[in-house]
Amino acid sequence: MHQFLSYSQEVANARATGKPVVALESTIISHGMPYPQNVETAREVEQIIRDAGAVPATIAVMGGKIRIGLSGEELELLGKSPDAMKVSRRDLPYVLSQGRLGATTVAATMICAELAGIPVFVTGGIGGVHRGAETSFDISADLQELARTSVAVVCAGVKSILDIGLTLEYLETHGVPVVSVGQPGFPAFFTRDSGFNADFQLDTPAEQAAFIHTKWKLGLKGGVVVSAPVPEAEAMPKSEIDMITDQALREAADDGVTGKKVTPYLLARIKQLTSGRSLATNIALVKNNARVGAELARALLEHPI
């Protein structure tokens, strides 16, 4: 076992008995949603994964270890700690060597999942190329991670706080395939349609698993984006979310928000401006992704090539 990894009993048992495991990130808990909905959602998402025949492994950094699987109390601690550090690739050595509490982003969770031998990871939305990146250079480290780390990331696309077209261009340049489930379009998190198509529509877990196995068997390292749209009944009206996103982006610029604070600022502001309705959509799409991810984790084991 890797010296920095520590498995929960549930995940250790799953590994010993060859059960499918699904990794989950923790920045969505500490910086993506408010308490107590963050902890409730994290618990419910874990249960959805169990009910679908896989084992959840929520990943965070605690006490100098990368924890693969958290207890109920540990989820609570993370959800209640405003000073939990948002940890991406850059920050992992710091938070580990300092023994601090860290919540992992998509990038850091991919690194930890790969170290732990977990090929599937479920989140809400991935980071991407920010609007105005041509002057700010603000491009999420999630994209570079997808280029190099071999984990399939199930998400509901990227938020329209980002430049979705440039995000897809960046992924193409770095050879990261973008798969869609159930529709040709790449979803835009709160809404089902971003105006862009994914590269490949693969509706069944068996097809997704065959694609992923083939990529990695070819020696093509790196991630795969598996994008599933938010269920129709829970999607937000596009015109409303567009207006609110523009306002949140203006305010972030006026407040001089930069660096790793940008994404949490925008998420929190959008929630306020929708009187919490965006949070309900956010929760619904993560739960949907959990089902897609659990089925994919099973299919990867059931259909080796």
CB hemisphere CA count around 230 (13 angstroms)? 27
Candidates 10, 25, 114, 145; catalytic one:
25
CA-wise closest residue to 145 among 173, 104, 109, 115: 109
Residue number with the shortest CB distance to ligand PSU? 32
Task: Give backbone dihedrals phi and psi of 226, rounded to 5 degrees, phi first.
Answer: -110, 110
181 with 199: CB under 8 angstroms? no
Choose which of 10, 91, 142, 295 interacts with ligand PSU (CB under 6 A). 142
Which part of the chain contacts ligand PSU (CB under 6 A), choosing from 58-66, 120-128, 246-254, 288-296? 120-128
Residue 156, contacted partner among ligand PSU, Mn ion, none, CB below 5-8 A by kind:
none
Residue 11 Ramachandran class (φ > 0 left, ψ -120 to 50 alpha, else beta): alpha
Candidates 10, 114, 145, 159; catalytic one:
159
| Residue 197: DSSP 8-state | B
Site string for Mn ion, 87-126 (x = CB under 5 A): ----------------------------------------
Residue 287, contacted partner among ligand PSU, Mn ion, none, CB below 5-8 A by kind:
none
Query: Which is closer to ligand PSU, CB of 257 or CB of 301?
Result: 257
Three-state DSSP at 191 gives: strand
In terms of DSSP bridges, do strands 152-155 and 224-227 run parallel, antiparallel, or are they unpaired?
A: parallel
Q: Which residue has the tokens 């979310």?
A: 241
Q: How far apart are CA 292 and CA 27, in angstroms?
A: 20
Which part of the chain contacts Mn ion (CB under 5 A), choosing from 132-140, 179-187, 188-196, 279-287? 132-140
Q: CA torsion 120→31→169→211, rounded to 10°?
A: 10
Residue number with the shortest CB distance to Mn ion? 138
228 with 181: CB under 8 angstroms? yes
Query: Which is closer to ligand PSU, CB of 23 or CB of 299?
Result: 23
Query: Which is closer to ligand PSU, CB of 14 or CB of 118?
Result: 118
Query: Which is closer to Mn ion, CB of 111 or CB of 252?
Result: 252
Q: How far apart are CA 209 and CA 214, in angstroms?
A: 8
Query: Which is closer to ligand PSU, CB of 127 or CB of 205?
Result: 127
229 with 185: CB under 8 angstroms? yes
Q: Does residue 267 bind ligand PSU (CB under 6 A)?
A: yes
How many other β-carbons are positioned within 10 Å of the β-carbon of residue 78?
26
For the chain, give percent helix, strand, coil, nearest 5.
50, 15, 35
For the segment 134-173, give every residue that binds Mn ion (CB under 5 A): 138
Q: Is 25 a catalytic residue?
A: yes
Annotated binding-site residue? 19: no
Catalytic residues: 25, 159
Binding residues (CB under 5 A) for Mn ion: these are: 138
Binding-site entries: 86, 106, 138, 140-142
Could you tell me which residues are annotated as the binding site for Mn(2+)? Answer: 138
Applying CB under 6 A, which residues contact ligand PSU?
25, 27-28, 32, 88, 105-106, 124-125, 127, 140-142, 159, 189, 260, 263, 267
